[in-house]
Structure 1
Amino acid sequence: MAAITYAISVTIAINVFWSSSNLYGSGVTGLAQLIQTITSRYLHIDFMTTPVMLFVLNIPIMVIGWQKIGHHFTFYTIVALGLSTIFMHFISGEPLTSNPIINAVFGGLINGAGTGFALRTGISTGGLDIIGILMRRKTGRTIGTINMIFNFFILLASAILFGWSTAFYSAIGIFVSARVMDALYTRQQRMQVLIVTDKPKSVIENIKIGLHRGVTIIGEAKGAYSKNEKTILLTIISRYELYDFRNIMKETDPHSFVSITSVVKLYGNFYEKKVN
Structure 2
Amino acid sequence: MKEKVQDILLILLGGSIMGFALDFFLVPSQVTAGGVSGVSTVLYYLFNLPIGLMVLVLNIPIFILGFITFNSRFLITSLIGTVALSVSAQFFELEIFRSFQPISNDMLLCSVFGGSIYGVGLGIAMRSGGTTGGTDILSLVLKKWFPSMSVGQFIIAIDGIVILAAGLAFQRLDTILYSIVMLFVCSYVLDTMLEGVNFAKIVYVISDHNKEIAEMIASELNRGSTALSGFSMYSGKNRDVLMCVMRKYQLPPLKKMVMNIDEGAFVIVTDAKEVIGQGFRIRNKLI
TM-score range, shorter chain: 0.5 to 0.7
Q: Secondary structure at the match of 1:21?
A: coil
Residue 118 of structure 1 is matched in structure 2 by: 125
Residue 184 of structure 1 is matched in structure 2 by: 193
Task: Report if the CA contact (8 A) 2:167-2:175 is conserved.
Answer: yes
Residues in 1 aligned to 2:67 and 2:135: alpha-carbon distance in whole angstroms: 14
Residues in 1 aligned to 2:186 and 2:148: alpha-carbon distance in whole angstroms: 21
From the superposition, tell whether residues 65 and 185 of structure 1 become closer, same or farther in structure 2 (CA, over 3 Å): farther
Residues in 1 aligned to 2:239 and 2:111: alpha-carbon distance in whole angstroms: 57
Deviations 1:16-39 (A, max 9, x none): 101221221121110121122222
Residues in 2 aligned to 1:105 and 1:75: alpha-carbon distance in whole angstroms: 31
Residue 114 of structure 2 is matched in structure 1 by: 107
The answer to whether structure 1 residue 31 and structure 2 residue 63 are counterparts is no
From the superposition, tell whether residues 259 and 131 of structure 1 become closer, same or farther in structure 2 (CA, over 3 Å): farther
Amino acid at match of 2:103: L
Q: Secondary structure at the match of 1:20?
A: coil
Residues in 2 aligned to 1:63 and 1:260: alpha-carbon distance in whole angstroms: 45
Residues in 2 aligned to 1:2 and 1:80: alpha-carbon distance in whole angstroms: 9
From the superposition, tell whether residues 102 and 224 of structure 1 become closer, same or farther in structure 2 (CA, over 3 Å): same
Residues in 1 aligned to 2:67 and 2:192: alpha-carbon distance in whole angstroms: 26
Q: TM-score, normalised by structure 2?
A: 0.58
Task: Report if the CA contact (8 A) 1:80-1:125 is conserved.
Answer: yes
**What is the root-mean-square deviation of aligned Cα atoms in Å?**
3.7
The answer to whether structure 1 residue 167 and structure 2 residue 168 are counterparts is no
Please show how residues 74-93 of structure 1 align to structure 2 within 5 Å: 74-92=75-93, 93=97
From the superposition, tell whether residues 136 and 222 of structure 1 become closer, same or farther in structure 2 (CA, over 3 Å): farther
Please show how residues 200-239 of structure 1 align to structure 2 within 5 Å: 221=231, 227-228=237-238
Residues in 1 aligned to 2:13 and 2:148: alpha-carbon distance in whole angstroms: 30
The answer to whether structure 1 residue 11 and structure 2 residue 19 are counterparts is yes
Residues in 2 aligned to 1:33 and 1:80: alpha-carbon distance in whole angstroms: 18
Residues in 2 aligned to 1:107 and 1:261: alpha-carbon distance in whole angstroms: 29
Q: TM-score, normalised by structure 1?
A: 0.60
The answer to whether structure 1 residue 52 and structure 2 residue 60 are counterparts is no
Deviation at 1:7, TM superposition (A): 1.9
Q: Secondary structure at the match of 1:174?
A: helix
From the superposition, tell whether residues 70 and 120 of structure 1 become closer, same or farther in structure 2 (CA, over 3 Å): farther
Residues in 1 aligned to 2:154 and 2:189: alpha-carbon distance in whole angstroms: 14
Task: Report if the CA contact (8 A) 2:29-2:105 is conserved.
Answer: yes
The answer to whether structure 1 residue 128 and structure 2 residue 135 are counterparts is yes
Rg (Cα) greater in structure: 2
